[in-house]
Amino acid sequence: MRLDPQYWKLVRDRARNLLPIRLRCSDRHIRARLNLGGNWNFAKLMTKHLKNLKSFRRVAITSVIAVAAYASFSGSAFGQQAALSPSPAASPATVKASEGKEGKEAKKVVEQPKPPEPRFKLYGWIEAGITVPFKHPIDNHVFGQLWNDRSYEPLLNQLSVVGERALDPNATGFDWGFKAWFMYGSDARYSKANGFLDLVTNQRVQPDFPELYGSLHIPIPGTLGLDLKAGKYQDPMSAETLDPRGNVFYSHSYIYNFGVPENDLGGLATLHVNKYLDLYAGINRGISQAFSDNNSSVAFEGGFGLNLLDGNLTTLALTHDGPENPFDNHDWRYLNDITTTWKVTKNFTSITDLNLIVDTINSGKWGGGVAQYFTYSLNDWLQLGVRGEIFRDSGNFYVAQFRANNDFMHFLRGDNLQPGFPFDPSNLTGGETTYLELTGGVTVKPPMPKPVAGLLIRPEIRYDQALTHRFKPFDQNTERNEVTFAVDFVLEF
């Protein structure tokens, strides 16, 4: 190893200080200090001796320098060795804390960001259920309930397959999407639209496309953008939907059965004014009207939505207005609904559905009511739910049951008004009645292996009563109340 000249100078100076004798004399000084007289030979001898002594001095200095250099180099090496030697053992607490910190740092390094989910999704579900009245109805029908109207009969409600590219809710530029939902099941008897697979079969289980639409997001300065939807889609009114995964119960409320549009064919625009306010406006062919229209008229739908408390409190207020009666394009029907969802805590949710419908036919027929839901999640796999509802049908106009599989579609099309259409006494209404409905149940979500996405099991007990004493709508118009037990299973994939 090559050392710096300054280093050598420092070593030389230290070595000189270590010498016990400093020899700084010359021959002349010796001769002056020693009185040798005339014995010059002796003087020469002494001079020679002193010269040898000077040589010894050089050797001594060189030796001391070498020893000092060795010592200095050895000290530096020893310092390096000491730095590399292990330190005394740390305490367990120190080791644990160090390991925890290093583990967290290693975890941060190892963890990789999750890849974004694919925009296109293909998914589906199978729903099947059964409804059991405590008293067996005469005609095997459960009055007041359309989707689970068959008594003691297992139903394949839905076999649904959905292909979807949803709009990005955080999109700041243009975005597009679509949804195609095919369904095969008994629910199709009431989900279909006039002129689109409406009478393709008269079986209990039927095909349908509940939704076929395209969507577009358009950025608008000063707002969060405009969403456009065009095609066949589920109407956004009500606290319940045709998709069973978003419902609290298997059975549906009177409001969902008789107080709101089920599906629309048209266009709907949603302007996101800001993070708190959305505005809705659209045009469609009318309630459950598609490529045929029972009165050749269009309907308007509009309203607003509020998003408060960081999304924990939402309100959707909509109105759907237009002629709806077959072969009648001058009497309008106004369907109004306000749904408020409040997530009170992480586990507790309150849903309030207010409904009012008015039809101007025959001096006016009005109906509507309120449904209140409470749900509480005990854990990730068990949720409790209750629903209480009062619904008024003031003109014996809205609440009904339909015996045959296609009777609802025949009434929607206006076939029952045609000469020669057969009369069926089991197609009943309930009179000018105020209905009370109380439902309680649980939703069980057991863990499932892949590729099953989930399983919902929803048993419920429901009580219905006619609060108007002069009408008995249940069990072929013979009873004022009805108690049912029902359960459905929804397998997601």
pLDDT (0 to 100) of residue 90 = 44
* Model confidence at 342: pLDDT above 90: yes
* Model confidence at 42: pLDDT above 80: no
- Dump pLDDT digits (tens) for 214-271: 999 999 999 999 999 999 999 999 999 999 999 999 999 999 999 999 999 999 999 9
Measured from the Cβ of residue 294, the count of other Cβ atoms closer than 10 Å reads 25
pLDDT (0 to 100) of residue 92 = 43
pLDDT (0 to 100) of residue 393 = 97
* Model confidence at 106: pLDDT above 60: no
- Dump pLDDT digits (tens) for 362-379: 999 999 999 999 999 999
Residue 261's identity, in one-letter code, is P
- Dump pLDDT digits (tens) for 269-310: 999 999 999 999 999 999 999 999 999 999 999 999 999 999
pLDDT (0 to 100) of residue 110 = 63
Q: What is 121-492's CATH number?
A: 2.40.160.10
* Residues near 66 by beta carbon (within 8 Å), at least 6 away in sequence: none
- Residue whose pair of structure tokens reads 């009478």 in the numeric block: 199
- Dump pLDDT digits (tens) for 457-489: 999 999 999 999 999 999 999 999 999 999 999
pLDDT (0 to 100) of residue 113 = 75
Tell me the three-class secondary structure of the chain, residue by residue.
CCCCHHHHHHHHHHHHHHCCCCCCCCHHHHHHHCCCCCCHHHHHHHHHHHHHHHHHHHHHHHHHHHHHHHHHHHHHHHHHHHHHCCCCCCCHHHHHHHHHHHHHHHHHHHCCCCCCCCCEEEEEEEEEEEEEECCCCCCCECCCCCCCCEECCCEEEEEEEEEEECCCCCCCCCEEEEEEEEEEECCHHHHCEECECCCCCCCCCEEEEEEEEEEEEECCCCCCCEEEEEEEEECCCCCCCCCHHHCCCCCCCHHHHHHCCCEEEEEEEEEECCCCEEEEEEEECCCCECCCCCCCCCEEEEEEEEEEHHHCEEEEEEEEEEECCCCCCCCEEEEEEEEEEEECCCCEEEEEEEEEEEECHHHCEEEEEEEEEEEEECCCCEEEEEEEEEEEECCCCCCECCCCCCHHHHHHHCHHHCCCCCCCCCCCECCCEEEEEEEEEEEECCCCCCCCCEEEEEEEEEEEEECCCCCCCHHHHCECEEEEEEEEEEEEC
Q: How far apart are CA 271 and CA 219, in angstroms?
A: 10
pLDDT (0 to 100) of residue 13 = 61
